[in-house]
Amino acid sequence: MKKIEIITTKTGKIQGYIGDGIQIFKGIPYAEPPIGDLRLNAPMAKKPWEGVFEALDYKPISPQPPPYTEYLPPPPQSEAECLNLNIWTPGCDDRKRPVMFWIHGGSHIFGSGRLLNGRVLPGKGDIVLVSINYRLGPLGYLCMPGAPSNIGQLDQIEALRWVHDNIEFFGGNPNDVTIFGESAGATSICALMAMPKAKGLFHRAISESSVTQPHGFDLSVRKTTADSIFKELNLKNDDLDGFRKLPVDEIIQALIKATEKALLTRTPLDFKPWVDGENLPQHPTKAIEEGYAKDIELLIGTNLEEWRFWRAFEPNFEDLPSSQIEKRIIYLLKAVGEEESKLPLVIDTYKKSREEINLPINIHEVYEAFMTDSIFRISSIKFAEAQRKNQKNTYMYLFNWNTPFENGRYGAMHAIEIAFVFGAFWEDYLFTFVKKTPETEALSEKVMQAWISFAKTGNPNHPNIPKWPSYDDKKRSTIVFDNEIEVWDDPLHREREMWNKMKQWSEF
């Protein structure tokens, strides 16, 4: 490891190292340890330190349950050290490069800012890349009297403040910041666009598979989630002092037990941000529609078969009888305020929609498409529609590359695009981790250049993709990323039109 020259920031001296021609700084603390009275409290800006901070290794991530998968061992966790960030830069000079600020996904319960490869984007685009850790689950998104709301979001804002105050020392421009993220990270992006405390800290946004349904930010759901946690901890729901004194392992175990019980009653816990009237004054889509983020250029999209990711947790899904799948669709219809009599309409709509793109589907795939739309795609379309009313530089994508893993069982699933965005591939297919091939590298090159171009100019177009028009509610031009990249007008329009008539959207 070749260490580089020590740099001086507003919080102290830092030394990183160089790899593949990129200067790398890992595990920089951006806030004070969120323990004691700072547990379930707003983050406190990091005080300047003495000596030199050696930013040579990733630091611990936010406490969380064991990961979904055993493909990779979980990294070290620490409540005291989790508020840290990582930086990759072509040079610590005065070039004032655009900054890309990554927020990880994981249902606001799992995940970290550790990247498989943070070196590629900075080298490709002469940009500065930042990734962060923030508090998760009951440590970051617990609704409790006497405690601030949306603490995980406040962590993200504090990290943005640190970047604003210090990124120039790493060759970045604090007045040219693009936030981007996937899944829970994308939901965080949309929330940040509507949060007063985040104003002025970023200038563009890229949302990959956001979750912004009409009732997705309701306070009542967060209270139910909190009550489940308090019950497992044998605490009253207003015992903030008692909560702050508990060992963090007890809180994570309570989360695990509460989750197991919630799954049995089909009422899973939810730790997304919520409308609190202060930190997040209103539903992000409503705020955006009213022009709250009219100065923020937006790139947003989803993957064609998001819900296929969850086949990993149901190995025999394809073998379930059709009658059971129909019951699932009916349950979903009722969840969005519709009658089960609409079942034939749903099935017919999805089958005709997919036939139009030469992708016929069976009843199991109808269910998955319905889930994809209800959680990810329709809410992203609505968000794009809302932003386009006030910002012409709004762009929509649909990621349609199918992973060959397990004979193509997972298709264009949730999170598959991340490997292409970062140019991070493995030597073999491993579930969400995509294999390095001439095909994947060629598509990745075009995706990366689009993301970089957008971060630099607010426009994702570049010479190696078809002309990508901005999104509007007439043509609804959408770029489709696959081995062959195309621009479609209003893709899967039958599904979108059906969802427009669903009560949860027509009454939103």
**Domain extents in the chain:** 2-295, 301-506
Selecting among 107, 112, 149, 183, the annotated active-site residue is 183
**Residue 306 designated active-site:** yes
The CATH number that domain 301-506 falls under is 3.40.50.1820
Average pLDDT over residues 429-449: 94
pLDDT of amino acid 71: 59
Catalytic residue among 168, 305, 306, 385: 306
Cα–Cα distance for residue pair 142/326, rounded to 1 Å: 35
Domain 2-295 in CATH 3.10.105.10: no
For 181-215, write each residue's pLDDT tens digit: 999 999 999 999 999 999 999 999 999 999 999 99
301-506 matches 2-295 in CATH topology:
yes
Q: Which residues contact 378 (CB under 8 A, 6 or more apart)?
A: 495, 496, 499, 505
Q: Is 70 a catalytic residue?
A: no
The Cα–Cα gap between 414 and 135 comes to 23
234-286 per-position pLDDT tens digit: 999 999 999 999 999 999 999 999 999 998 888 889 999 999 999 999 999 99
Return the pLDDT at 70: 56
Q: Is the pLDDT reported for residue 68 higher than 60?
A: no
Exactly one of 104, 203, 283, 414 is catalytic; name it.
414
Dihedrals phi, psi of 254, to nearest 5 degrees: -65, -40
Q: Which of 301, 405, 399, 409 is nearest to 364 (CA)?
A: 409
> Containing H/E element for 496?
helix 493-500
Band of the pLDDT at 428, cuts 50, 70, 90?
A: confident
Over residues 84-111, the mean pLDDT reads 97
380 is catalytic: no
| Better pLDDT: 505 or 103 | 103
Element (H, E) at 54: strand 52-54
Torsion angle in degrees (nearest 10) through CA of 84, 88, 92, 93: -130
